[in-house]
Structure 1
Amino acid sequence: MTINVWDYLPEYEKERQDILDAVETVFSSGQLVLGESVRSFEREFAKRHGISHCVGVDNGTNAVKLGLQALGVGPGDEVITVSNTAAPTVVAIDSTGATPVFVDVHEDSFLMNTDAVADAITPRTKCLLPVHLYGQCVDMDALGELARRHGLTVLEDCAQAHGATRNGRPAGTMGDAAAFSFYPTKVLGTYGDGGAVLTSDERVNQSLRRLRYYGMEERYYVVQTPCHNSRLDEVHAEILRRKLRRLDAYVAARRAVADRYAEGLRDTGLVLPQPTTGNDHVYYVYVVRHPRRDEILDALKAQDIVLNISYPWPVHTMTGFAHLGYAEGALPVTEALAKEIFSLPMYPSLPVEVQEKVISALREVLSSL
């Protein structure tokens, strides 16, 4: 049996009846688009975060894109973010016509180095886009102070941080708006694509609702462009409603997996993830670091343990973003991490015996290096 970093089937087997009931609820409701399931999920997700508004959209990339547009970001603007992220963060910025501007990350947490943000601000800077990476939050106190001082907006990318908190404040509640992805692998994931934007700004809320629905406030009449068809699907919304009630249990299970890794892999030479001060980590992925990463991955693959690299190519080094003009060495920490990091299996239903096999195999490989 091949061991992979993620597998939804054990969870589906456990929750199958509830998932199928969610589908039946929608199919028998008489409304398949922007119906009661979407409205209810939006209310419940907003309430969990103590935020006034949630707008469901079709995926996490468009959550970022529409969030930026609703905050007034467009051609000629700059958005400061990181290169150590999934490419969709930057694709979304680029699709608004704005220019992504990258800062480096901290070597220990892999999170945005907020000390570097001040030097990256220019007269064209419109928005700061922190990525709450791998399951824990960026230093939002420092970032918020910079935003206030320079009159900038803040959009949190929370795709990897459902349930995470910083100093008691949930991810998604510390900026002007926050983008979430509900891709199947996420801490809160559906059975396909989905996303949402949180905000307590009524103007931003109304703009988002127009932008996700062809720019319309009434059917057939467009009042705002550029606009999109980016609606959250009813079936995914109903599944998310059910799974939202289990979010705390998912987080607890992930933390238990992380604890077993920490215990089983200490003193092996691997650099293991550590929550930074003030953060409650939810371990969306369990990312470790070793200078001989590729040898380790090859040895494990020979034992049918196929691990992942999150992420092997910093965004600023990709040919699709060569026009931004970042030379090799521009972000030294980000570039060094990309050569050494890799992810271990992490999901709430990961069987203990599978995790123990991974730990045992890793210890064996590491001891032979």
Structure 2
Amino acid sequence: MQQINNLAAKINKFQTQITASVQRVVASGWVVLGPEVKRFEASFAQYLNANHCITVANGTDAIELALKALGVQKNDLVATVANASMYTTTSILAIGATPVFMDVNLDNHVVTLADVKHAVTSGAKAVVVTHLYGLAVPEIAEISRYCAEQNVPLLEDCAQAHGAEREGKRVGTFGDAASFSFYPTKNLGALGDGGAVVTNSPEIAQRVTQLRQYGWSSKYCVELEGARNSRLDEIQAAILSEFLPHLDEGNSRRREIATRYRNEITHHEIRHPQEQGKASVAHLYVIKCLKRDALQRYLRTVEIASDVHYPIPDYKQPVLEHSFGTLSLKNTETLASEILTLPCYPEMTDKEVSNVIAAVNGWAA
């Protein structure tokens, strides 16, 4: 069975580095908020050309703590998309704020400047822009300038876009802050959970640093409200430091696979994502098909895994359906019914890629 992602292949590829990093931490006896965390935070900030990186326990905590550091409070309206599987929405709700859902572009699945403007004029006190499937939002620079002019904080959700670029800048450096996930399947993934907030602001960095550890201003002195225990452990930081130098190489391999899919999958029912170059790091290769469910059933019979990222718009989730019963975002709902993710990860062999291409082209729609 061709998997949607194969973590065993990645672990095998980097087994020597993983073992060495784990042994180094164990030998040190320092397992939380030690030198490995500091080293990775400095390296990742340098990679992005950002001033500060503050690691946390996971990507969802990164969103929540970043929003708190940006000043979002209970009952504030926060703009976000509804096609990224509730992660940002969950964080907004945890604060006691209210999501304002923006529609997305039908071709590239991400938010537009026009949608951001509509949300802000509707009362949003903060905006979260998601770089979905590895694509840097095309209008991120314009969105950043607009939010700055309106004095509305902008958070970039970069969980799926480590290393993607626009205008010579990597995502995570356009907004007031950015959140990253290091979940194992991400372009830069640990071997467990992890996340980070990135910012150029020393004030935001200081608030996140306190929020991730009880709100301490000094040990056992709690100064900041809304804090928690959310820390990246030393072993995961050490592993991430080993993986970071290989991120661009992995992204290049993902682009190669995406290019093959785009050029060689010629089935008339399939529509491809078009963005190429450094703006996309091909975290997921998401096609569109009006007969999506039939295609997915067929691929299962020929042992090709696929997935839907994501099938339920946030406002249609059972937990929210009574709050947003009348809301309908046309493009978001259209995409939810048509999208399908094909396997795309750096450790895929050329033969495995060819097998996926042959399987899709062989579908008798």
Query: Which TM-score tier does this pair reach, normalised by the shorter chain?
Result: over 0.9
Q: Secondary structure at the match of 1:320?
A: coil
Range with bigger deviation, 7-16 or 142-151: 142-151
Aligned to 1:15: 14
Task: Write out per-residue CA displacement over residues 235-259 of structure 1, whole angstroms, 9 at most, x where no aligned residue.
Answer: 1100001100111111111111111
Range with bigger deviation, 199-208 or 266-275: 266-275
Q: Secondary structure at the match of 2:180?
A: strand
Task: Tell me the TM-score normalized by structure 1.
Answer: 0.96
Aligned to 2:24: 25
Contact 2:48 2:163 in 1 (8 A): no
Aligned to 2:338: 340
Aligned to 1:187: 187
Aligned to 2:209: 209
Task: Write out per-residue CA displacement over residues 320-352 of structure 1, whole angstroms, 9 at most, x where no aligned residue.
Answer: 122432426x10000001000000001100111
The letter for the 2-side match of 1:73 is V
Mapping for residues 32-43 of structure 1, pairs under 5 Å: 32-43=31-42
The letter for the 1-side match of 2:21 is A
Mapping for residues 306-345 of structure 1, pairs under 5 Å: 306-327=305-326, 330-345=328-343
Aligned to 1:296: 295
Question: In 2, distance between residues paired with 1:141 and 1:13?
Answer: 39
Q: Secondary structure at the match of 1:3?
A: coil
Range with bigger deviation, 140-149 or 173-182: 140-149
- The offset of 1:225, in angstroms, is 1.1
- The offset of 1:227, in angstroms, is 0.9
Mapping for residues 271-282 of structure 1, pairs under 5 Å: 271-275=271-275, 280-282=279-281
Contact 1:76 1:124 in 2 (8 A): no
Task: Write out per-residue CA displacement over residues 292-324 of structure 1, whole angstroms, 9 at most, x where no aligned residue.
Answer: 000000111112222100111111111112243
Aligned to 2:234: 234
Q: Secondary structure at the match of 1:245?
A: helix
Contact 2:113 2:143 in 1 (8 A): yes
The letter for the 2-side match of 1:105 is V
Task: Tell me the TM-score normalized by structure 2.
Answer: 0.97
Gaps of 5+ in 1: none
Mapping for residues 128-207 of structure 1, pairs under 5 Å: 128-138=127-137, 139-207=139-207
Q: Secondary structure at the match of 1:327?
A: coil
Structure 1 residues 294 and 24: CA distance shift in structure 2, 3 A? same
Question: In 1, distance between residues paired with 2:166 and 2:134?
Answer: 11
- The offset of 1:267, in angstroms, is 5.3
- What RMSD over aligned residues (CA atoms) do the two structures have, in Å? 1.4
Aligned to 1:362: 360
Q: Secondary structure at the match of 1:257?
A: helix
Question: In 1, distance between residues paired with 2:325 and 2:116?
Answer: 16
- The offset of 1:217, in angstroms, is 2.4
Q: Secondary structure at the match of 1:75?
A: coil
Question: In 2, distance between residues paired with 1:68 and 1:190?
Answer: 24
Mapping for residues 238-277 of structure 1, pairs under 5 Å: 238-266=238-266, 268-275=268-275
- The offset of 1:122, in angstroms, is 4.6
* Aligned pairs, number: 364
Contact 2:267 2:361 in 1 (8 A): no
| Percent identity of paired positions between Structure 1 and Structure 2 | 38
Task: Write out per-residue CA displacement over residues 125-159 of structure 1, whole angstroms, 9 at most, x where no aligned residue.
Answer: 22110000001112112212321232100000000
Structure 1 residues 71 and 323: CA distance shift in structure 2, 3 A? farther
Question: In 1, distance between residues paired with 2:123 and 2:157?
Answer: 21
The letter for the 2-side match of 1:7 is N
Question: In 1, distance between residues paired with 2:252 and 2:194?
Answer: 23
Contact 1:167 1:279 in 2 (8 A): no
Aligned to 1:76: 75
